[in-house]
């Protein structure tokens, strides 16, 4: 064993001596040239090709590097069992993983295998700089087969960018925007004021018929995944929904469920704060893709029942960013929004300035809307938010009382009563929720019994209200029939007398004519 270590030390000493001789005889430039030549020869005979994605490009960050890091940390790295680093960005609702230094992950795209390696190297010392660079140089190295180059590039990179954008959007908190200042800009040049959107409504908790709910979810998913379809058909990537029905049927909850299902931001457009069609277009241009633009109570906000202008009072004077005062506003000039401007907002040329937008209108009285707002292309899907049905009632019982389908055997009679009275009561989901909230501390059975009493009272009240009116209508119909019969009875003798008079006069004239002929 001792002889082995002695031989190894002799070999290492010889290698060190030869290295010193090479460094002394051959200059550094020649050694670098030989290394580059050997690298080119190796790459020429290698079946792989390599691509480096650096963290910075000059003084600016590389967008592809951040996208690759998000994509690998969320999809390929956890499945590959690689060593990961955890982080949570600002305003993010979930943790993100990062690939550790000098670690590799494997991925596949369209049947082709790819390899990513995260390379971290120390940066050489730099002098004074107004914008110092990081102490380490980071990059991702992509290795693919030469035969797969045309198949993967640039389709694979486009796939990574799209997946990273979706991951970034879903990991961040959704925002709710409002146009509190009309079309005025803030210090960032934006006319919208954002707040975090924390509405907990989802399609699982939404009180609606399950089949109707599944149809809406399928339509939303087809829209979100329809980029190729809209591009092939030459249509703008947008869709319109009209939610109509009585108050308290869950129209606002439906909008929140749509936003949570797709991961979109919500823009709540208040038309009374908009002074002109120009401001309306400005607000549309400042909305982002993957968003839901909501106009609630379209029949009550401004008068859009015809194509005439809807005149609004002159807005108050607002200071601009530079401190000056808007002369038009200070002069009190009347400004207006027209139906044509709103139609162009939803279906005109200006609506194509962005992609993947959903327009949602809500109303309690659909008959008050102009037919131009209801046609396809502006409102593609009309969703009637009806009174609470029995399937929707079971969802509310599950949400508020924790009652499952298997638990309904203990209260079969109460469930049968609820099913028989729910349609006659015509109660909204909001009223049902209020009753369940009041009685939820008394237990499930007592809460359901209280709800059943409320349904019976409402049904009886509706029956009493509709009873006298129906009886009065029937009595009125009988009185009208009797009056018609009396009129016919009175007119019949009169017609007989007139007919008799006419016949008698005719006989008299004939006799007089005969007498004249005889004379």
Whether residue 134 is predicted with pLDDT greater than 70 in this model: the reply is no
Task: Write the DSSP string, 25-80.
Answer: HS-HHHHHHHHHHHHHHHHHH-SEEEEEEESEETTEE-HHHHHHHHHIIIIIHHHH
Q: What is the pLDDT of residue 2?
A: 79
Most confident of 11-20, 94-103, 287-296, 488-497: 287-296
Q: Hey, which residues does 294 pair with through a beta bridge?
A: 268, 360
Q: What is the average pLDDT value for the chain, to the nearest integer? A: 78
Residue scoring higher pLDDT (398 or 341): 398
- 92-111 CB burial, b ≥16 within 10 A, e <16: eeeebbbbeeebebebebee
Query: What own/partner pairs with CB < 8 Å and gap ≥ 24 does 132-140 have?
Result: 133/56, 134/55, 134/56, 137/54, 137/55, 138/54, 138/55, 138/65, 138/101, 139/52, 139/53, 139/54, 139/55, 139/65, 140/52, 140/53, 140/65, 140/68, 140/69, 140/72, 140/116
Mean pLDDT of all residues in 396-420: 81
Mean pLDDT of all residues in 368-376: 85
Peptide bond into 422 cis (omega under 30): no
Whether residue 97 is predicted with pLDDT greater than 60 in this model: the reply is yes
Question: What percentage of the chain reaches a pLDDT higher than 70?
Answer: 73
Domain chopping of the chain, boundaries: 25-123+134-171, 175-315+333-386+502-518, 390-488
> Tell me, what DSSP letter sits at residue 268?
E
Whether residue 499 is predicted with pLDDT greater than 50 in this model: the reply is no
Question: What number of other Cβ atoms are within 10 A of residue 71's Cβ?
Answer: 21
Question: What number of other Cβ atoms are within 10 A of residue 268's Cβ?
Answer: 16
Task: Choose among 334, 336, 277: nearest CA to 302.
Answer: 336
Least confident of 3-7, 77-81, 168-172, 215-219: 77-81
Whether residue 334 is predicted with pLDDT greater than 80 in this model: the reply is no
Whether residue 323 is predicted with pLDDT greater than 50 in this model: the reply is no
pLDDT in tens, 147-172: 898 889 889 999 999 888 888 877 77
Class of domain 175-315+333-386+502-518: alpha beta
Mean pLDDT of all residues in 188-194: 77
Q: What is the pLDDT of residue 321?
A: 41
Residue scoring higher pLDDT (503 or 243): 243
pLDDT band at residue 332 using 50, 70 and 90 as cut-offs: very low
Q: What is the pLDDT of residue 131?
A: 58
Q: What is the pLDDT of residue 129?
A: 56
């Amino acid at each position: 064993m001792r002889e082995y270590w002695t031989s190894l030390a002799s070999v290492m000493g010889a290698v060190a001596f030869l290295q010193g001789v090479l460094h002394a005889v051959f200059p550094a430039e020649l050694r670098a040239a030989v290394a580059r030549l050997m690298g080119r020869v190796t790459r020429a005979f290698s079946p792989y090709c390599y691509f480096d994605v650096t963290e910075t490009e000059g003084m600016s960050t590389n967008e592809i590097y951040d996208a690759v890091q998000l994509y690998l940390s969320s999809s390929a790295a956890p499945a590959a069992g690689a060593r990961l680093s955890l982080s949570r960005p600002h305003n993010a609702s979930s943790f993100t993983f990062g690939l550790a230094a000098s670690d590799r992950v494997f991925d596949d795209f369209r049947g082709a295998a790819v390899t990513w390696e995260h390379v971290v190297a120390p940066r050489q010392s730099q002098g004074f700089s107004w914008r110092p660079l990081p102490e380490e140089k980071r990059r991702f190295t992509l290795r693919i087969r030469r035969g797969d180059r045309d198949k993967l590039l640039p389709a694979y990179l486009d796939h990574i960018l799209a997946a990273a954008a979706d991951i970034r959007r879903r990991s961040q908190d959704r925002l709710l925007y409002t146009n509190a200042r009309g079309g005025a800009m803030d210090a960032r040049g934006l006319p919208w004021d954002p707040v975090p959107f924390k509405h907990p409504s989802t399609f699982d908790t939404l009180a609606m018929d399950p089949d109707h709910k599944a149809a809406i979810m399928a339509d939303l998913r087809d829209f979100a995944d329809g980029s190729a379809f809209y591009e092939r058909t030459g249509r703008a990537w947008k869709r319109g929904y009209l939610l109509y029905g009585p108050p308290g049927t869950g129209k606002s909850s439906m909008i929140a469920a749509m936003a949570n299902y797709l991961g979109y931001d919500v823009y709540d457009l208040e038309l009374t704060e908009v002074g002109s069609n120009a401001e309306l277009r400005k607000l549309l241009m400042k909305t982002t893709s993957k968003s839901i633009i909501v106009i609630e109570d379209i029949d009550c906000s401004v008068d859009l029942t015809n194509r005439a202008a809807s005149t609004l009072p002159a807005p108050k004077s607002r200071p601009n960013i530079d401190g000056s005062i808007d002369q038009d506003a200070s002069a009190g000039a009347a400004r207006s929004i027209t139906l044509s401007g709103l139609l162009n907002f939803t279906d005109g040329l200006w609506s194509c300035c962005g992609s993947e937008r959903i327009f949602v209108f809500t109303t309690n009285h659909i008959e008050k809307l102009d037919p131009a707002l209801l046609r396809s292309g502006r409102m593609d899907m009309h969703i009637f938010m009806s009174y609470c049905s029995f399937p929707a009632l079971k969802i509310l019982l599950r949400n508020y009382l924790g009652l499952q389908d298997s638990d309904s055997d203990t209260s079969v009679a109460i469930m049968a009563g609820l099913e028989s009275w729910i349609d006659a009561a015509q109660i909204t989901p909001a009223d049902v929720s209020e009753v369940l909230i009041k009685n939820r501390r008394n237990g499930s059975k007592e809460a359901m019994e209280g709800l059943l009493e409320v349904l019976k009272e409402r049904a009886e009240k509706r029956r009493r209200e509709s009873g006298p009116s129906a009886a009065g209508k029937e009595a009125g119909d009988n009185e009208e029939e009797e009056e018609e019969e009396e009129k016919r009875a009175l007119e019949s003798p009169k017609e007989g007398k007139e007919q008799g008079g006419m016949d008698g006069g005719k006989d008299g004239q004939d006799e007089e004519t005969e007498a004249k002929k005889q004379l």
